[in-house]
Chain A
Amino acid sequence: MIAEHVAFGIIAAVMVAAASRVVTTRDIMHAALYLVIVLAGVAALFLLVGAEFTGITQVLIYIGAVIVLFLFGIMLTRSDFGDNEDTDYKRKFPALLTAALLLAVMVVALVDRFGTEKLPDDLSPQTTAQVSDELFSQFIVPFEAVSVLLLAALIGAIVVARREEGG
């Protein structure tokens, strides 16, 4: 139990720190790398609470695909690497205020309802089989829909991002 707490504490601290850097660093490449840390932390948390399939998927899709996409994006848009004045707005206070207010509201709500709730002590891993059983019975329709969605996104993204002939 303690180990779990300690592990969670460390992961959480790292994630928060990394996330903060994602939104503050002026180097766009650094931001991407900090994002990797956060995503990895999320995956770790998933494993910690027994969501093994999701955790693995998280690593695969996010770190394996999304981050690569980002890197492509950074390069295709020829963003300046390194310290860049241009990444942020000068006036950050409104953004900070918004985030802080939002956090306050969330915290109040969460503490009020889940202040004393504990996760089950026995966090037995929910197996991939369980997940897939559920997914392909109960959620077959959204699953199919997501496949269409991915296809549409794929085609659309290609059309949009494709350089026009001669243009």
Chain B
Amino acid sequence: MGALSAVFGAEAVGEATAASGWFLENAWLIWLFPAVSFLLILLFGKRFPKGGSEIGIFAVGASFVFGVATAIQWISEVEGGGSKGAEGEYALGAGALSLAAEGESSGGVSAVSRSITWLTNGAESIGAGILIDGLAVMMIFVVTLVSLLVHVYSTDYVAGDRRYTHFFAFLSLFTASMLFFVTASTTLQMLVGWELVGVCSFALIGHWWEEKPNSNAALKAFFTNRVGDMGLIIGVSILFFAAGTFDVIGVNEAALNGTMTHTVTLAAALCLTAAVMSKSGQFFLHTWLPDAMAGPTPVSALIHAATMVVAGIFMIARLYGVFFEGYSIGGSSLNLLALIGGVTTLVGASLAFVQNDIKKVLAYSTISQLGYMVLALGVGAWTAALFHLFTHAFFKACLFLGSGSVSHAVHSFDMKKDMGGLRAHMPHTYRTFMLGTLALAGLPIFSGFWSKDEILVGTGGWGFFGGTDANGSYTIMLVMGLVTAALTGAYMTRVVYLTFFGEYRGHGTPHESGPRITAPLWILGSLAVVAGFINFPPGFQLVPESWREKFFQWVEPVGVSYFPSIKHATPSWSLAIVSVIVALAGIAAAAYYYFVRVRAVSPMATELPNGPTRRWVLARAGHSVLVNKYYLDWLYTRVIVGFVKGPLAKGTNWVNQHVIDRVVNEVGTRSVQAGNVVYHKVDQLVVDGVVNATGKISDASGEELRRMQTGKVQQYAAIMFIAATILAGIFIIVI
């Protein structure tokens, strides 16, 4: 995040100097603004001329300004007082922090932590507060910036919606929750923020709840997340009792210094992983995320691409001590976290192929990229993961907002039916979308390249081209990452072709969106290009040394007791080149298929008429002149299209829709059925039945006794005499 303060540094410097540590100490204001804004919009929004959106924009803007100020203060801390010895360039009045600084600082810069008593239990107070360090600052920056842009974008995008005000209210609430989450100083607070963002997601996915599918999607999202939350709740509980505190720093320290046994740490890590899987759309709890595209597009951009879904990544990063120890990441070659990330990234990328809905492509792409981040964390490449989070936020938001801009024009998300050739109609959208695509595909210069490359380096799987000094040797992960890189290039090429090239297949004439939409697009598009520059690799000789690894210096807490001592892999030119080639190969294959072959059929065409069958491939092959070309064609049609897009992707899709998604639905259906059985058979028949039967038996025995009462006085007398006799007889015998 410090990255952006580098960009905006010049303006922000003046303010920050005067305030010194004030913004760091009072970072809680950052989430308070949107929180207040939420209430204001909810209560009074409709009375404002712009339906409350201005309040939201103002609040998020304020948060953004504060966030930037905080970032600047933090950077100045790091650069000035830190051990990494940055130049004086940013060291603006590195005033010593006078407030409680937790986490024994052994050469590193300690986080700023303030808290109040939130609740008392067992005469111990449990705090709530802020924990501001590089990670938090980075997240604040990303969240406030994307949120601000999405706010602006939305004023146009959802203009005229019947629940315009409500939409902005929830955007504010979401922003507040997310900021609360990332500044949380305790796991308990994180839990709170975690669930709150889930609710906002629920409310915004279901924004158009008149349609059943939308509300179903909202429910599904919430429900799936709730399953993961179970893990979070249990994990937090385990950590609380193992570490004796909810404090993030305390928990990490306990995990690292051996206070917790390995078993406990592992159990906690496993539970938390479940939470991550649902929140960050990891395989196999990812199915809610594509459905969540039912929400308005700005929401998808903000929540389901840039911020909320990375909450899981953030949590792993926050509690990295627990995960690092629990999964024994260091010195290993495989662990659950990396595996989940790897599988997810592959599954996501292959699924992105078969979608016709542009947003669903992006959704699966997001899943895939989130898998990348988890993979990175799983292999110990902490900074790389967060750097990717950082860059991904911009380019994926850019892509989503771009797709929104498109749909705004064509009133549809279906690429095959209603798009094509939009390049001419929507130049701004097209250009920014291309920037995002290139960044996502990981081509050099663009931000995605830098972060993706760092992840690949971090796997440590490139050992046979020269040691990289990584945390382990996760060769499988490296392979997965490379395959994904190729797939990513391919599916994005497909999207670009179907959307912007060929001829328009929809109705009417699409128009470019207004400035409130294009301006955010350009900002994000630019960021998609430059965001990668703040973390040039250490060995990157093209820039001065002081420009390298800034992100690492600002964000990663080195040398503090609450963060594991992880190794940092040495970058390798060879790997970078290989990864670029792989990505290019994917792009090229797809480009050949669409730009050459499909286009040749008709500008209106979206696929080849006969479909990618082997017989067809062989027939066309005879006409090919260039071996090279043939080879690519073959590669693409047989391997990528014929296999990946065909059986594999379709198969995955089938599994996805019929098995995994089905399981989710089945769980729901079965629960309801179980409920029915329990209620109708057990509760009403057995439990209630016993009660009613008791009544009936009482009634019946009353009736029997009543028969004694015949009305005949001598029978009464007989009863009396016999009873007296028998009583006396029995007593005489017994006593």
Contact = CB atoms under 8 A, between A and B. Distances in A.
Given a CB threshold of 8 Å, the question of whether A touches B is answered with yes
A98 B718 contact: yes
A105 interface: yes
Contact of B728 (A94, A98, A105): A105
B725 A102 contact: yes
B122 interface: no
A2 to B, nearest CB: 35
B729 A101 contact: yes
Contacts of A104: 729
B654 to A, nearest CB: 84
Given A101-B725, A105-B725, A95 B718 contact: yes
Contacts of B721: 98, 102
B713 interface: no
Interface in B556-582: none
A88 to B, nearest CB: 11
B732 A98 contact: no
A109 interface: yes
Contacts of A98: 718, 721-722, 725
B732 A109 contact: yes
B304 to A, nearest CB: 88
Interface in B694-735: 714, 718, 721-722, 724-726, 728-729, 732
Contacts of B729: 101, 104-105
A67 to B, nearest CB: 23
A66 interface: no
A94 B718 contact: yes
Contacts, number: 22
B734 to A, nearest CB: 13
A109 B729 CA distance: 9
Interface residues of B, number: 10
Interface string A101-139: 110110011000000000000000000000000000000
Contacts of B726: 101
Interface in B583-640: none
A105 B726 CA distance: 9
Interface of B is mostly: helix
Nearest to A100: B725
A56 to B, nearest CB: 32
B722 A101 contact: yes
B723 to A, nearest CB: 10
A104 B733 CA distance: 12
A94 B725 CA distance: 13
Contacts of B732: 105, 108-109
Interface in A58-105: 89, 94-95, 98, 101-102, 104-105
Nearest to B728: A105
Nearest to B721: A98
A89 B718 CA distance: 13
Contacts of A102: 721, 724-725
A108 to B, nearest CB: 7
Interface core residue of A98, A101, A108, A109 (most chain B CB under 10 Å): A98
Nearest to B714: A89
A134 B729 CA distance: 36
Nearest to A103: B725
Contacts of B724: 102
Contacts of B714: 89
B344 to A, nearest CB: 88
A155 B661 CA distance: 96
B720 to A, nearest CB: 10
A32 B728 CA distance: 32
A144 B724 CA distance: 32
B284 to A, nearest CB: 80
A83 to B, nearest CB: 22
Contacts of A89: 714
A89 B717 CA distance: 14
Interface core residue of B721, B725, B726, B732 (most chain A CB under 10 Å): B725
Contacts of A109: 728, 732
Contacts of A108: 732
Interface string A35-53: 0000000000000000000
A108 B731 CA distance: 12
B468 to A, nearest CB: 106
A79 B718 CA distance: 25
Contacts of A105: 725, 728-729, 732
A127 to B, nearest CB: 37
A91 to B, nearest CB: 11
Nearest to B712: A89
Interface core residue of A102, A104, A105, A109 (most chain B CB under 10 Å): A105
A13 B154 CA distance: 120
19 contacts: A89-B714, A95-B718, A98-B718, A98-B721, A98-B722, A101-B722, A101-B725, A101-B726, A101-B729, A102-B721, A102-B724, A104-B729, A105-B725, A105-B728, A105-B729, A105-B732, A108-B732, A109-B728, A109-B732
List 3 tightest A-B contacts by C-beta distance, closest first.
A102-B725, A105-B729, A101-B725
Given A98-B721, A105-B729, 10 more contacts: A89-B714, A94-B718, A95-B718, A98-B725, A101-B725, A101-B726, A102-B725, A104-B729, A105-B728, A105-B732
